Amino acid sequence: MQKVRVYMACSFDGYIAGADDDIAWLHEDHAAPGALPEDPEALGFEEFMSQVGAMLMGRTTYEVVEGFGQWPYGETPVIVATHRELEPMAPTVRAAAGDIGDLVAQAKEAAGERDVYLDGGALIQQALAAGLVDEMTLTLVPVILGEGTRLFDGIIPRQALVFGPSRAFSGGMMQVTATVRRDT
């Protein structure tokens, strides 16, 4: 069954960005002394992307990706939620405006039989509030940031979850997947 999925890194205290939108901490070496540095492939992002048929991305996140200089999402269709004009970085990118329900519906259609990858703090927040998220994979970074932008912010309705198996990585990160229960 097609799912709307989140795949996000956050600090132990729940921040997706530090003060002043700092994301440099994400890419630092978090390995404990004597441990091997992180193997990015082990984090399973490529496997995750192989199940994704389309992305729905917030404007702020898109602008961060623009800063990379190179488009990282290959042929995957990407819908950018924005009310402003957009100069697409790749032929697979298009802008869309609307409420979160419309946007998710568009992304589901673009994804065909595969899953939707929802990216961007504000958009995830809106989708959670609307009960539209099916699964969240969080890569916990072993740091307390102490301030910044939270993954969970604003009031959202209570939702029961099931945790999948968690995984620890050589570089110090931990990953946990939570699926939203639809049986409660």
Binding site for its own copies (CB under 8 A): 12-14, 18, 25, 30, 32-33, 128, 140, 142-147, 151-152, 155-163, 165-166, 168, 172-174, 176, 178, 180-181, 183
CA distances from 18 to 24, 72, 132, 143, 168 (A): 9, 23, 26, 11, 23
- 61-69 long-range contacts, Cβ below 8 Å, gap at least 24? 61/119, 61/120, 61/121, 61/123, 62/86, 62/93, 62/120, 64/23, 65/89
Taking the complex as a whole, the smallest distance from the CB of residue 39 to its own copies amounts, in Å, to 16
Taking the complex as a whole, the smallest distance from the CB of residue 30 to its own copies amounts, in Å, to 7
Q: Which is nearer to its own copies, 114 or 150 (CB)?
A: 150
Handedness of CA 79, 116, 122, 41 (dihedral sign): negative
Q: Which is nearer to its own copies, 97 or 162 (CB)?
A: 162
Taking the complex as a whole, the smallest distance from the CB of residue 25 to its own copies amounts, in Å, to 8
Q: Which is nearer to its own copies, 59 or 150 (CB)?
A: 150
